[in-house]
Amino acid sequence: MKYALLSDVHSNLEAFRAVIKDLERESVDHVCFLGDIVGYGADPAQCIDILKGLTSWIVAGNHDWAAVGLTDTSYFNSAAKKAVDWTTELISPSHQKFLKSLPLTCMPSGIQLAHATPHKPERWGYIYSLQEAQDGFNHAEQQICFIGHSHSPVTFVENSEGTVSLLPDSSFSIRDEYRYIINVGSVGQPRDGDPRAAYGIFDSEHSSFIIKRVVYSIEDTKKKIIEAGLPPSLASRLSAGR
């Protein structure tokens, strides 16, 4: 089976459409979404509608829950908070109902999906360090856990002795004796210095994983953010990929 792993679209319709076009060429069997369909960008309603038709394997992100009052936003920076409030005003009751229905984790076909961390995902913690990855592995329920949230693709591996290390490659083979926490990066607001949309493809038959990068019309997205009256920093950061 070939799985596409998408995360952090953040209402960026142009990036979302470009990635969907790319994964159609990859002929994937299933799409999994790792949270944050809304927040930051100018097209929350359209992105939700597309996601609903794309897959039912979806977990909630902190921005999704924030837009429907399910999580605290006091730690959000002011641009993020403004975008969340703008999104709440804009989306319909049926979109709100959809966001409220999203679970924090799900486990389709032996893989685990979470937006932030495998353990206590509702705390929206980050996995940056080896220690944070170790905590994740201590509570992961499957051999492979896919996450998003940081907007930077990175993979942590735990070997059979329980030693955790960072795997810098964006394409690698999955080994039966190892466990993996794989951050697939962000479709709609990459922060690893590469402004192209990012998503992952896991091929369970060939035991392989790859991060793909897709070019989209960043200028169109930026224009919409400005025209919507959202904070300009949310537009400018897209070209920098930060």
- Contact positions toward Zn ion, by CB under 5 A? 8, 36
Beta carbon of residue 7, minimum distance to Zn ion (angstroms, whole number): 7
* Complex with Zn ion: residue 85 or 203, whichever CB lies closer: 85
The residue type at 157: V
Nearer to Zn ion, 2 or 196 (CB): 196
Cβ 1 to Zn ion shortest distance, Å: 26
| Run of H or E including 137 | helix 130-139
Of 150 and 157, CB closest to Zn ion: 150
d(CA 133, CA 137): 6
The nearest distance, CB 193 to Zn ion, in angstroms, is 17
- List the structure tokens of 212: 């793909």
Min dist CB 22 to Zn ion, Å, is 20
Nearer CB in complex with Zn ion: 4/84: 84
Closest to Zn ion by CB, 8 vs 22, is 8
Structure tokens at 131: 């220690």
Q: Helices (H), strands (E): how many in the chain? A: 8, 11
Residues in the chain, how many? 242
In the complex, least distance from residue 26 CB atom to Zn ion, rounded to whole angstroms: 23
> Minimum distance from CB of 149 to Zn ion (Å)?
6
In the complex, minimum distance from the CB of residue 178 to Zn ion, in angstroms, rounded to a whole number: 27
Identify which of residues 153 and 158 has a Cβ nearer to Zn ion in the complex: 153
Integer-rounded Cα Rg, in Å, for the chain is: 17
The smaller minimum CB distance to Zn ion, of residues 23 and 187, is found at 187
Q: State how far the alpha carbon of 145 is from the alpha carbons of 34, 101, 195, in Å.
A: 11, 21, 25
